Amino acid sequence: MSDNRYQKGMENLKVMNPKSFQTLEDSLTDIAPDLARYVVEFPYGDIYTRPGLDLKIRELVTISAITTMGGADNQLKSHIRGALNVGCTKEEILEVIIQMAVYAGFPRAINGVLAAKEVFGEEESE
Amino acid sequence: MSDNRYQKGMENLKVMNPKSFQTLEDSLTDIAPDLARYVVEFPYGDIYTRPGLDLKIRELVTISAITTMGGADNQLKSHIRGALNVGCTKEEILEVIIQMAVYAGFPRAINGVLAAKEVFGEEESE
Amino acid sequence: MSDNRYQKGMENLKVMNPKSFQTLEDSLTDIAPDLARYVVEFPYGDIYTRPGLDLKIRELVTISAITTMGGADNQLKSHIRGALNVGCTKEEILEVIIQMAVYAGFPRAINGVLAAKEVFGEEESE
Amino acid sequence: MSDNRYQKGMENLKVMNPKSFQTLEDSLTDIAPDLARYVVEFPYGDIYTRPGLDLKIRELVTISAITTMGGADNQLKSHIRGALNVGCTKEEILEVIIQMAVYAGFPRAINGVLAAKEVFGEEESE
Amino acid sequence: MSDNRYQKGMENLKVMNPKSFQTLEDSLTDIAPDLARYVVEFPYGDIYTRPGLDLKIRELVTISAITTMGGADNQLKSHIRGALNVGCTKEEILEVIIQMAVYAGFPRAINGVLAAKEVFGEEESE
Amino acid sequence: MSDNRYQKGMENLKVMNPKSFQTLEDSLTDIAPDLARYVVEFPYGDIYTRPGLDLKIRELVTISAITTMGGADNQLKSHIRGALNVGCTKEEILEVIIQMAVYAGFPRAINGVLAAKEVFGEEESE
């Protein structure tokens, strides 16, 4: 059932990034609520629930992908928060982003590190 | 010393992907040998030798980055081989690439899986 | 005549997006006025005047392209306004952007929907 | 039910592009069959079945997106075939791709037109 | 007059890259001849004729742009030929591409150097 | 020696862009100081010190690359400042960016020109 995917996705989101998703859902609710639902169902219900890779690695490969594509700072910060939530250390997150200097170039790596700095700063001020 | 970075990089490459690097170096030797040297020194000497992340995760985040950027099939295949060499399973590699459907879109994920299929096929025919 | 392309382009712009172009021209006038002129002549004079596709579809395919490339929020918002001006409904615009989750990934689609939300909000407050 | 999404997706695919999907499924079946299933369920089951935009426009905006991202020639050709299957004319397809010279640059537009030429040539030789 | 732009563009192309353009025009003539005409008029008629930058630098900045975007090998090779035609040395071309390792990442730089190698090889075998 | 690369890089940076680097180093010092060091060593120590291309052309090809990739406004502005520091004229910088309309599309070129406008404005108000 579709409900099942949604439920599994929401359970995952509760662990991974409940605040970010709430913010996203709030911003989409009056304009494209289906997109918020797809976010729960497809990435969090179908993909992040797959066996074969733990959530820590899943967040780290997402961070490298979003750092590489550029122009998606909010999503990058959201997944840096998610990585912390599932147990990645700050060092691991930074190592992934620094490594992107090799593959995506220095501008993307620098922007990624500055996004991480912002997220780590929020964490500390909470 | 710069030599030191080169040596450390070559030691890493011996573990990670000696064949791919040999092919690359052969193709660059008469036209841009310095670029081959930079590949040894910067990614393999400076970055992959950093503590904080093991080589398996380093290869997986590289695979997600190259899948995402697109248009770099040879490098993607080279790093899929590298991931196998440092102990990633085929399943882990595929999980990373499939997950890219969410962040880089289905065309990139499909092309990534087909690249993996090609590499896994080579392995089996050796 | 070149003047002819400029005139045709300006006539198109009057229908499609007079305010956005005025803002663009104002911002470019002292630094790169030729670029503003090229915008009139090439996209609006040469391309949008071509037969074979109506302006509504032309704006929708532009919206999918700019959503996909990322990092061009102002241009995306400008073309969302343009799409509304030539008669696209909000629903049509949103459907295009939501569909981009499949091809450009969820981060681009989410950013696109939020850009649309901003434009639709402006419209309502006028 | 998830089965329902799959069924709806397959019904859509029968109209839109049965051959391309068969080729894709054949190539993924032994390596990542779930990715083939996701293609049916998410783009074709969830997205292309949405009201608010007809399949012709859905294929045209996909063509502009894939032309823009570059490095996805097989997917571009597949969607050019899909566009023909749902009733787009060759002229409409070409107009979309030519327009991409403005937003994605001339190299992407030229590569897109050459992909279309290849697909149109296949059609004629059938 | 538009004819004037076309003439100026063709004069430029005779110096810069007559063979590449002939190949392009031949491939587009039966499918999208207007796109070939736009190539003459806009890049070669409007842009490359502008004062303020000589053709050598114009080709070098084009090479860095196309190396960076990836997925446009034919256009990259065409502009490497163009750079040679307007007097750039092989060393200058290679320096530009190698530098892209910093901004676009090593995969793009490596692919760029291999494209240059192919073009330089053709030159020598003529 | 590695120190040597760092020293050469810092000497280059003193000519090219001391303020931008200081800002970057300050922002990275507590989170990823190694990334700041790599910026000195690899781009400025290894690449910009290479013979075969003067610093003016090196900055212009960097500007076209960063304009093309998009989503890296701070780095683009930093290199526009760098280009001015090594003797490029405003006209040369603008010509490079305007030319990107052809290869990277109008949105990227427009964003690039507006970045240049911002940098040129700072210069004048100093």
| Band (F125; pLDDT cuts 50, 70, 90) | confident
Q: What is the 3-state secondary structure (H, E, C) of chain C?
A: CHHHHHHHHHHHHHHHCHHHHHHHHHHHCCCCHHHHHHHHHHHHHHHCCCCCCCHHHHHHHHHHHHHHHCCCHHHHHHHHHHHHHCCCCHHHHHHHHHHHHHHCCHHHHHHHHHHHHHHHHHHHHC
Chain A environment of F38 (Cβ under 8 Å)? 98, 101, 106
Q: Say if CB D79 and CB D121 are below 8 A apart.
A: no
State the Cα–Cα distance between residues A96 and B56, nearest whole angstrom.
12
Distance from CA of D118 to the nearest CA of C (A): 21
Is residue A96 predicted with pLDDT exceeding 60? yes
Q: Tell me, what's the pLDDT at E117? A: 98
DSSP state at residue F53: S
> Which conformational region is residue A51 in: left (phi greater than 0), alpha (psi within -120 to 50 degrees), or beta?
beta
Tell me if B117 and D75 make a contact (CB, 8 A cut-off): no
Average pLDDT taken over every residue of chain A: 95
Q: Tell me, what's the pLDDT at E125? A: 75
| Band (C125; pLDDT cuts 50, 70, 90) | confident
Is residue A30 predicted with pLDDT exceeding 70? yes
Q: What is the pLDDT of residues B14-28, one digit of tens each?
A: 999 999 999 999 999
Chain C environment of F71 (Cβ under 8 Å)? 70-71
| Band (C114; pLDDT cuts 50, 70, 90) | very high
CB-based contact, E113 to chain F, within 8 Å: no
Is residue F96 predicted with pLDDT exceeding 70? yes
Q: Say if CB C74 and CB A39 are below 8 A apart.
A: no
CB-based contact, A5 to chain D, within 8 Å: yes
Q: Say if CB B94 and CB A61 are below 8 A apart.
A: no
All residues at 6 or more sequence positions from E76 whose CB lies less than 8 Å from its CB, including other chains: E63, E66, E67, E112, E115
- C74, burial (CB in 10 Å: exposed 0-12, middle 13-18, buried 19+): middle
Chain E environment of D106 (Cβ under 8 Å)? 38-39, 42-43, 75
Q: Tell me, what's the pLDDT at F2? A: 53
CB-based contact, A37 to chain D, within 8 Å: no
Residue F17 C-beta-side C-alpha neighbours within 13 Å: 23
- Nearest Cα to F104, choosing from C115, D59, C72? C72
Is residue B124 predicted with pLDDT exceeding 90? no
Average pLDDT taken over every residue of chain C: 95
Q: Say if CB B64 and CB A65 are below 8 A apart.
A: yes
CB-based contact, E99 to chain F, within 8 Å: yes
Tell me if D104 and C53 make a contact (CB, 8 A cut-off): no
Average pLDDT taken over every residue of chain F: 95
- Nearest Cα to E80, choosing from E43, E42, E111, E46? E111
Is residue C99 predicted with pLDDT exceeding 70? yes
Which whole number is the average pLDDT over B38-46?
97
CB-based contact, C13 to chain F, within 8 Å: no
Distance from CA of F115 to the nearest CA of D (A): 18
Length of chain E: 126
Q: Tell me, what's the pLDDT at E2? A: 52
Interface test with F, best of E16, E90, E103, E106 (most F CBs within 10 A): E103
State the Cα–Cα distance between residues E111 and D106, nearest whole angstrom.
20
Chain E environment of A102 (Cβ under 8 Å)? 105-106
Angle between helices B55-69 and E106-125 (to 10 degrees): 60
Alpha carbon distances (Å) from F43 to A101, B105, F13, F40, F46: 11, 32, 10, 6, 6
Q: What is the pLDDT of residues A3-25, one digit of tens each?
A: 799 999 999 999 999 999 999 99
Chain B environment of F1 (Cβ under 8 Å)? 1-2
Q: For chain D, which residues score pLDDT lower than 50?
A: 1
State the Cα–Cα distance between residues C95 and F124, nearest whole angstrom.
45
CB-based contact, A66 to chain C, within 8 Å: yes
Residue type, E55: L
> Is the four-CA dihedral F19, F15, A112, D73 of positive or negative sign?
positive
Tell me if B102 and C103 make a contact (CB, 8 A cut-off): no
Which whole number is the average pLDDT over F5-30?
95
Which whole number is the average pLDDT over C37-43?
97
Euclidean distance between the first and the last CA atom of chain B, given in angstroms as a whole number: 39
- Nearest Cα to D88, choosing from D1, D7, D17, D2? D17
* Cβ atoms within 10 Å of B54's Cβ, excluding its own: 11
Q: Tell me, what's the pLDDT at A123? A: 73
CB-based contact, B4 to chain F, within 8 Å: yes
Q: Which domains occur in chain B, in start order? A: 1-50 (1.20.1290.10), 54-126 (1.20.1290.10)
Q: What is the pLDDT of residues A36-64, one digit of tens each?
A: 999 999 999 999 999 999 999 999 999 99
Six-digit token string for F97: 């960016």
Q: Say if CB B76 and CB B112 are below 8 A apart.
A: yes
- Neighbouring chains to A with at least 3 Cβ pairs closer than 8 Å: B, C, D, E, F
Q: What is the pLDDT along chain E (126 residues), one digit of tens a residue?
A: 457 999 999 999 999 999 999 999 999 999 999 999 999 999 999 999 999 999 999 999 999 999 999 999 999 999 999 999 999 999 999 999 999 999 999 999 999 999 999 999 987 776
Which percentage of chain F shows pLDDT scores above 70? 98
DSSP per-residue codes, A68-116: HH-S-HHHHHHHHHHHHHTT--HHHHHHHHHHHHHHT-HHHHHHHHHHH
Q: Tell me, what's the pLDDT at A24? A: 94
State the Cα–Cα distance between residues E85 and B125, nearest whole angstrom.
45
Which whole number is the average pLDDT over F115-120?
98
Length of chain C: 126
| Band (C1; pLDDT cuts 50, 70, 90) | very low
- C34, burial (CB in 10 Å: exposed 0-12, middle 13-18, buried 19+): middle
Q: How many E/F residue pairs have CB atoms within 8 Å?
A: 90
Closest residue to A46, CB basis, from D1, D38, D50: D38
Q: How many C/F residue pairs have CB atoms within 8 Å?
A: 47
State the Cα–Cα distance between residues C75 and F107, nearest whole angstrom.
6
State the Cα–Cα distance between residues A4 and A8, nearest whole angstrom.
6
Is residue C42 predicted with pLDDT exceeding 60? yes
The model scores a pTM over 0.95: yes
Tell me if E102 and A104 make a contact (CB, 8 A cut-off): no
Tell me if D1 and A1 make a contact (CB, 8 A cut-off): yes
Q: Tell me, what's the pLDDT at B126? A: 65
Chain A environment of C109 (Cβ under 8 Å)? 35
All residues at 6 or more sequence positions from A72 whose CB lies less than 8 Å from its CB, including other chains: A66, C70, C107, C108, C111, F71
Closest residue to B27, CB basis, from E72, E106, E114: E114
| Band (A126; pLDDT cuts 50, 70, 90) | low
Q: Tell me, what's the pLDDT at B125? A: 74
Which percentage of chain C shows pLDDT scores above 70? 97
Is residue F11 predicted with pLDDT exceeding 80? yes
